[in-house]
A = this chain, B = another copy of it.
Amino acid sequence: MSDNKEFVKEITNMDEDFAQWYTDVIRKTDLVDYSPVKGFMVIKPYGYAIWENIQQYLDIRFKQTGHKNMYFPLLIPESLLNKEKEHVEGFAPEVAWVTHGGDNELGEKLCIRPTSETIICHMYSKWLKSYRELPYLNNQWCSVVRWEKATRPFLRTSEFLWQEGHTLHETEQEAQDETIQMLNIYSEMAKELLAIPMVSGIKSEKEKFAGAEATYTIEALMHDGKALQSGTSHNLAQHFTKAFDITYLDRNSKLQHPYHTSWGVSTRLIGGLIMVHSDNRGLVLPPRVAPTQVVIVPVMQKKAGVLDRAYELKKELQDLGVRVDLDDSPNYSPGWKFNEYEMKGVPIRIEIGPRDIKNGVAMVARRDTLTKDQYELEGIGEAMKTLLENVHEDMYNKALAMREEKTYIVETYDELKDKMNTKPGFAKAMWCGCDECEAKIKSDTGATIRCMPFEQEKLSETCLVCGEKADKMVYLARAY
């Protein structure tokens, strides 16, 4: 117990200082480290394994829906970046410029991709000839660089890992269907893998991607009542396909510009994962994305038979497809190990000692509820598989309840201003749709329109801010 107390002290209480709590958790659990280049982080094995699980889930979903992976160059000539007007205005201030190759100054400076629409559209314009080749359904996994002034690991960094899908279609409708399909895959990934409930909707004109016709988003609510944009899917219409002169011969042998989408999620999801589920003892990882799902900690491991039985148990779980570790290190006490894996958010811990073995049982501790139960060793493998599923469901429901508790309707502008300070969360409100009201909300409250959700409710007839006629219900929140 003394270990435990001492340990927990190392992580700042989230109610005292949420930002410091977040930093403590990611550093003490060895997910990331800061690199010598400001704003660039190192993703350590435990953090990277979470990303690999996200990649694996999504890559399968992408391929099932007909997408193929490609790889486009890291560097984009300035002239290409400049082709789509809104796009360059949005991104040029935050790109990194390569000016020298070896000892030579380059004739044209090259930017490190902040996103790849421009280089991909340039290539698509060379390739596409006929409607027969459509749709183009491609994706790439890579890193991108956006020079950020204020950075926080996972949430906002000057380099991050992501995937970016880039598709072309014959019709406006097909592009729209693709945009929504990919948003739904993101939302399902969040629910099924990360146990995070998302609000899906469309961004305002002001908040949409630079160059998009429409941007759709999934938004999650964090423990501190702030929102996190967790994935976006853009209907780019013909904005880029015209700027890059991508054309094809249609079914009537007429030259047409195709319709275009792009969509992405990034390592930012890991930040969301932490801020939704974790607690003052450290990480709480949902089982399906946890690098280790079950850890076995032997007790009195020097006693005859304990380690043998523990290894047998490990094999049983492995054979059932559970990601299981056994910590047989003689250098640390069981108590130290309990704390360590609790902090690291391993969903289930099994403790097994000589008395347990004699009685044919083991103690099973759940990270999410911090409860402990005795299980029969006979059939414990299948029981753990069921328990992992239950933990996932319970974590999702807990996150959903947390979000619902922090989601409320605001009827007056004063109420919004008050609530954003006293009860940060998702405020549902009616908005007239004009830029001025949107800007006013932001400057007065720090909240932004996170999205106009697909699931609309008619809260009133008038805009929260200006009192004019309003038919859009929006989610407002302060955001990361």
Question: Which residues of A are in contact with B by a Cβ distance under 8 Å?
Answer: 33, 35-37, 40-45, 48-49, 51-52, 68-77, 80, 92-103, 109-110, 112, 119, 122-123, 126-127, 132, 138, 142-143, 145, 147, 158-159, 161, 331
Shortest Cβ distance from A67 into chain B, in angstroms? 9
Contact of A159 among B33, B48, B73 (CB under 8 A): B73
**Which residues of B lie under 8 Å from residue A94 when comparing CB positions?**
101-102
A331 to B73, CA, bound (A): 33
Please tell me which one of the listed residues B33, B68, B123 contacts residue A45 in the complex, with CB atoms under 8 A apart. Answer: B68
In the complex, the answer to whether B96 meets A101 with C-beta atoms within 8 Å is: yes
A56 to chain B, nearest CB (A): 11
Q: How far apart sit A136 and B145, CA to CA, in the bound complex (Å)? A: 28
- Chain B residue numbers with a CB within 8 Å of A44 are 70
Tell me whether A95 and B102 are in contact (CB under 8 A).
Answer: yes
Q: How far is the CA of A331 from the CA of B41 in the complex (A)?
A: 51
Partner of A75, one of B48, B77, B96: B96
- Chain B residues lying within 8 Å of A132, measured Cβ to Cβ, are 331
Residue among B49, B72, B126 making CB contact with A68, cutoff 8 Å? B49
Contact among B42, B71, B161 for A48, CB-based, below 8 A: B71
B contact residues around A161 at 8 Å (CB): 71
Chain B proximity of A118: nearest CB distance (Å): 10
Instruction: Give Cα distance in the complex from A121 to B250, angstroms.
Output: 55
Contact A101 B69 (CB under 8 A): no
Q: Contact partner of A73 among B41, B68, B92, B97, CB < 8 A?
A: B41
Complex Cα distance A156/B60, Å? 31
